[in-house]
Amino acid sequence: MNFIALRMLTGDRAKYLGLIFAIAFSTFLLENQTSIFAGILKRSGHPVVDLTDAEVWVMDPATQYFEETKALKDTDLARVRGVPGVDYAVRLFKGLPTARTLAGRFASCTVLGLDDATLTGAPRRMLLGSWESLREPQAVIVDEAGFRLLFPGAPLRLGDTLELNDRKVRIAGISDALPQFVNFPIIHARYSEAVQFQGRERKQLTFVLVRPVPGVTPADLARRIEAETGLRARTTGEFLWDCIRYYLRNTGIPVNFGITIVIAVIVGLVVSGQTFHLFTVENLRQFGALKAIGVTNARLAGMVLLQALLVWFIGYGLGTGLAAAFFEVTRHNIPTRHITLLWQNVVGVGGLMLLVVLGASLLSLRRVLVLEPAIVFRG
């Protein structure tokens, strides 16, 4: 019976290929859009997870996410250090000055000023140079994407000069920093120099980076700091999700990607369901003949489900292969780096498309179960 079911499925090549194409296209579209959606949202929290030395972030109570900050007082650093359970607390400056090359090219950039003594938060993934070179005078580290933006066509190299707020600095290292939501060049420098790259303000301390002593969890220490200082303290994981939720609430990203995902589901459901229904209707005589020779409804249902599962397996496999090929090609590009096909998306889309195919087959199955065997003898 299974062989007969497969012969019935592949007998009409046009409908058979149409079913597979509908499932493959929907699978590709869903995996593509959901992975890009997740990758973009992850970028909003990359500045947080890229600073691997920080376990607790302390900020002004009004600060909602990494890009929108209100400076702290210098005395707040001492207050945080006085909280029981703090192993160390260091300052971090974040600014958005304009970097200019000697050739006249310029770009807004994200400058991170690291504690002069410890260089806590220095990039650990280096392509050229080392993060210890930040201890040298007028030395900065630029990420690869930023270097290629400021020096288009030039090979990665050290020693080039940048001008930040009329101050000349030397590129002493090139990092492989995680890309941010806004693709600005990312520059690391010492705190004492980074604050000079921005217009001088009364308060310039953006964040305090804290690590707890052994035996104290980051979450417990964060609650302690909030209670004793009145400042906002978030663990790295909490602050990461704060950034993601901010972009979900205040940008059009969820709506735009949501529309595409809904369209993909509708295409998969309507096209595959309609095609499968027409396929079943056109084969009612064959199903009637099988009923006439004694094949049970349960066996007929198994045949229809086998056809549906085969179509899902082939279509889903082709769609996933296309999505994997797409991300393999684009992951080498600077603008789309670190946007990959996530296994969670593959599993989730596979389950969703399986439900779509099974739903379409169940709608068609009703015609088979109520079928009278006598239909085979009618004109």
Does residue 204 surpass a pLDDT of 90? no
Does residue 374 surpass a pLDDT of 90? no
Q: Can you give the pLDDT at residue 35?
A: 87
Q: Can you give the pLDDT at residue 241?
A: 92
Does residue 86 surpass a pLDDT of 80? yes
Does residue 205 surpass a pLDDT of 70? yes
SS3 234: strand
Task: Using alpha carbons, list the distances in angstroms from residue 268 to 35, 136, 303, 331, 354.
Answer: 18, 59, 21, 27, 10
- Could you tell me the pLDDT band of residue 322, with boundaries at 50, 70 and 90? very high
- Could you tell me the pLDDT band of residue 335, with boundaries at 50, 70 and 90? confident
- What is d(CA 224, CA 218) in angstroms, rounded to the nearest whole number? 10
| Alpha helix positions (H), the chain | 2-11, 13-50, 74-81, 144-150, 191-197, 218-229, 236-250, 253-282, 284-292, 297-330, 343-369
- Could you tell me the pLDDT band of residue 336, with boundaries at 50, 70 and 90? confident
- Could you tell me the pLDDT band of residue 11, with boundaries at 50, 70 and 90? low
- Could you tell me the pLDDT band of residue 6, with boundaries at 50, 70 and 90? low
pLDDT digits (tens, 9 = 90+) for 289-309: 766 676 676 777 777 778 788
Kindly state the average pLDDT of the residues 277-288. Answer: 69
Task: Return the residue matching tokens 């066509």.
Answer: 153
Q: Tell me the pTM.
A: 0.79
Whether the CB-CB separation of 353 and 23 falls below 8 Å is answered with yes
**Higher-confidence position of 374 and 130:** 130
Does residue 376 surpass a pLDDT of 60? no
Whether the CB-CB separation of 94 and 208 falls below 8 Å is answered with no
- What is d(CA 48, CA 40) in angstroms, rounded to the nearest whole number? 15
Domain ranges of the chain: 2-44+252-377, 51-250
What length does the chain have? 379
Task: Using alpha carbons, list the distances in angstroms from residue 10 to 3, 276, 326.
Answer: 11, 12, 29
144-171: b (≥16 Cβ within 10 Å) or e? bbbbbbbbeeeeeebebebbbeeeebeb
Using CA atoms in the order 271, 273, 274, 279, what is the torsion angle rounded to 10 degrees?
120
Using CA atoms in the order 139, 141, 144, 148, what is the torsion angle rounded to 10 degrees?
-30
pLDDT digits (tens, 9 = 90+) for 147-171: 999 999 889 999 999 998 888 999 9
Q: Can you give the pLDDT at residue 190?
A: 93
Task: Using alpha carbons, list the distances in angstroms from residue 274 to 17, 287, 366, 369.
Answer: 14, 19, 14, 18
Does residue 180 surpass a pLDDT of 70? yes
Comparing CA positions, the residue from 55, 77, 46, 92 lying closest to residue 206 is 92
Distance of CA 188 to the CA centre of its chain: 24
Using CA atoms in the order 274, 275, 281, 282, what is the torsion angle rounded to 10 degrees?
150
Kindly state the average pLDDT of the residues 42-63. Answer: 88
Q: Can you give the pLDDT at residue 218?
A: 93
Whether the CB-CB separation of 259 and 253 falls below 8 Å is answered with no
Whether the CB-CB separation of 134 and 141 falls below 8 Å is answered with yes
Task: Return the residue matching tokens 């600073």.
Answer: 51
